[in-house]
Chains A and B, each alone.
Chain A
Amino acid sequence: EAGVAQSPRYKIIEKRQSVAFWCNPISGHATLYWYQQILGQGPKLLIQFQNNGVVDDSQLPKDRFSAERLKGVDSTLKIQPAKLEDSAVYLCASSLEEQETFGSGTRLTVV
C-alpha cells in the first residue's frame, strides 16, 4: 500500500512569515496525527483528527498554529507567524487501528 505522503520535504522561511504543510494519509485510515519533532527529542503530538473531527489539540499552540482535515482525508498544518523555535521536523501519521504509519516529515528551518 502507498505510505503517508507529505510535502514539502524541506522549507526555509524567515521569522514572522507563514508556512503550510500538506499530508495525504493512507487510504481508509480514519485517524490522522501531526507531530512536531525538535532535533534530539522524540515527536510531540500537536493534533489528532478522527475523520474530520479534532480528538486532541491540547498541545497545539493555537495562537499561531492551525490545522484542518477537510472531507476526512488530506490535512494541512499552518504556522502564522513563524518563530525561530518552530524550527523542527513536522511529521504526519495515520492509523486505522493499533499502529501508526508515519510520513517522512517536513523539515522547517526558521531564520
Chain B
Amino acid sequence: DAKTTQPPSMDCAEGRAANLPCNHSTISGNEYVYWYRQIHSQGPQYIIHGLKNNETNEMASLIITEDRKSSTLILPHATLRDTAVYYCIVRALGDAGNNRKLIWGLGTSLAVNP
C-alpha cells in the first residue's frame, strides 16, 4: 500500500501558484519524498525529490516539514499544461530492498483553469 495521503482533486487558476499537499506520517529516516505527474494519455514524469531540505528546480519547489510527516509541492505559476494527476511517493534509495520501489497511490488530479 502507498504510504502517502493526498486530496483526490484540486483546482487552480492559471498564473497562480498551485500548492499540492501530501501526508506521509510513517516515513522512515532513509526515505525520500518524490513527486511525479501524469498528463492525460502520457507516461508519468519526474518532477522533484527531497529528503529533509526544501528543494527547487525549474519545474517546482518541494517544501518538507521539519518532522518530515508532510510536504507540499508548489508550482509557482500554473499553466493549462500543468493539468495532470500529481503523485507523491516515499521511497528509499540505494540497497534498501522493497522500500526502494515506487508504490503509487491515487494522486491528486489538478485542474488548472483559465
- Chain A positions near chain B (C-beta within 8 angstroms): 4, 40-45, 48, 56, 91, 93, 98-105
**CB pair A43 B44 closer than 8 Å:** yes
**CB pair A42 B101 closer than 8 Å:** no
**CB pair B101 A91 closer than 8 Å:** no
- Is B9 in the interface zone, CB < 8 Å from A? no
Interface size class of B (residues with CB under 8 A): 10 to 19
**In the complex the two chains form, what is the Cα distance from A93 to B46 in whole Å?**
11
Least CB distance, A77 to chain B, in whole angstroms: 15
**CB pair B101 A101 closer than 8 Å:** no
Which chain B residues (23-44) contact chain A, with CB distance < 8 Å?
A: 34, 41-44
**In the complex the two chains form, what is the Cα distance from A41 to B109 in whole Å?**
11
Given the complex, which residues of B lie within 8 Å of A40, measured CB to CB? 106
Q: How many pairs of A and B residues are in contact by the CB < 8 Å rule? A: 42
- Chain B positions near chain A (C-beta within 8 angstroms): 2, 34, 41-46, 49, 87, 93, 98, 101-107
Which residue of the partner chain, among A56, A98, A104, contacts B101 with CB atoms under 8 Å?
A56
Known: A104-B43, A105-B43. A48 touches B87 (CB 8 A): no
Least CB distance, B3 to chain A, in whole angstroms: 13
**CB pair B49 A98 closer than 8 Å:** yes
**In the complex the two chains form, what is the Cα distance from A98 to B55 in whole Å?**
15
Given the complex, which residues of B lie within 8 Å of A91, measured CB to CB? 43-44
